[in-house]
Amino acid sequence: MQSTVINEQVQTVKNQSLSKVVQQQLENMILNGELAPGERINESYLSSHLQISRAPIREACRQLAQYGMVETRTGKGSFVCQVDLKEAIELYEIRGAFDALAAEQAASRASEDDINALEQHISQMEESEKANDRVEYFSSNLKFHHQIVLISRNSALLELYSVVLKKLSLFRQQNLSKPNQMADSLAQHKGIFAAIKTKDATKASELARQHVEEAKQRLLEAKQ
């Protein structure tokens, strides 16, 4: 009996570890556009492809549902969430406030190592923009903003920001598909970086909020 209990506990730990790996893979597929809004997540395919049971896949979907990235429909499975225009606008408004706060605090608290980390993300975005690699640029873009929140040293902000950013990810990637948009986006990121580097908290906050506001306006124009 004791051996059975131990085996069950070990299996639970394995499933939890696997679910984290699957969660990251699914999240990347959604952020990169490999899984489109409204698309069903094929548990059977993932189980066969990854050579694992469906249990960790279902747990990964449950976790992503907490971020608003996946929706579980009774008897039908799990689907990539679709965010309507009204919700997207509301999320952009929240994100603008979050980004402004994060940039302001980052400008006051950034160490030399923090500045170097941000500069690396800027360099990666430059390379992606030159190569016209929208997917890689989008990935570096996300990392840049995430790094700013980390530098703010505000753990509550980091948790809330992650939820908002992930729900907005599909809209933001579509915005980068317009002509010259990557170049314009890169220039804005460089401005935010320069303000943080020079510890100009007010300017960093203003530029960060403006960056999000312009993204929201592009979304509205695209939906007209």
Does the pLDDT value for residue 172 go beyond 60?
Answer: no
Does the pLDDT value for residue 75 go beyond 70?
Answer: yes
pLDDT value of residue 195: 98
The CATH classification of domain 2-80, taken from the options 3.40.190.10, 3.40.720.10, 1.10.10.10, 2.70.98.90 = 1.10.10.10
pLDDT value of residue 177: 56
Among residues 80, 85, 72, 87, which one has the least CA distance to residue 34?
A: 80
φ/ψ (deg, to 5) at 50: -90, -10
Q: What is the DSSP string of 35-88?
A: S-TTPBP-HHHHHHHHT--HHHHHHHHHHHHHTTSEEEETTTEEEE----HHHH
- pLDDT tens profile 115-170: 999 999 999 999 999 999 988 998 899 899 999 999 999 999 999 998 898 788 75
The CATH classification of domain 85-223, taken from the options 1.20.120.530, 2.40.430.10, 2.40.10.10, 3.50.50.60 = 1.20.120.530
| DSSP-assigned letter for residue 178 | S
pLDDT value of residue 25: 87
CA–CA distance from 174 to each of 31, 49, 63, 102, 188 (Å)?
Answer: 11, 29, 25, 24, 18
Specify whether the CB–CB gap between 135 and 170 falls below 8 A: no
Q: Do 2-80 and 85-223 share a fold? A: no
- pLDDT tens profile 177-200: 566 788 999 999 999 999 999 999
Q: Any residues with CB less than 8 A from the CB of 115 and at least 6 apart, and which?
A: 196, 197
Looking at residue 137, its amino acid is: Y
- pLDDT tens profile 14-68: 555 788 888 988 988 887 778 888 899 999 998 898 888 898 899 999 999 988 8
Give residue limits of the domains in the chain.
Answer: 2-80, 85-223
| Site of tokens 């959604």 | 30
pLDDT tier at 1 (50, 70, 90 boundaries)? very low
| Site of tokens 């943080």 | 196
User: How much is the CA Rg of the chain, to the nearest whole Å?
Assistant: 20
pLDDT value of residue 117: 97
CA–CA gap between residue 61 and residue 136 (Å, rounded): 24
CA–CA gap between residue 44 and residue 214 (Å, rounded): 41
| DSSP-assigned letter for residue 199 | T
25 is written with which tokens? Answer: 């893979």
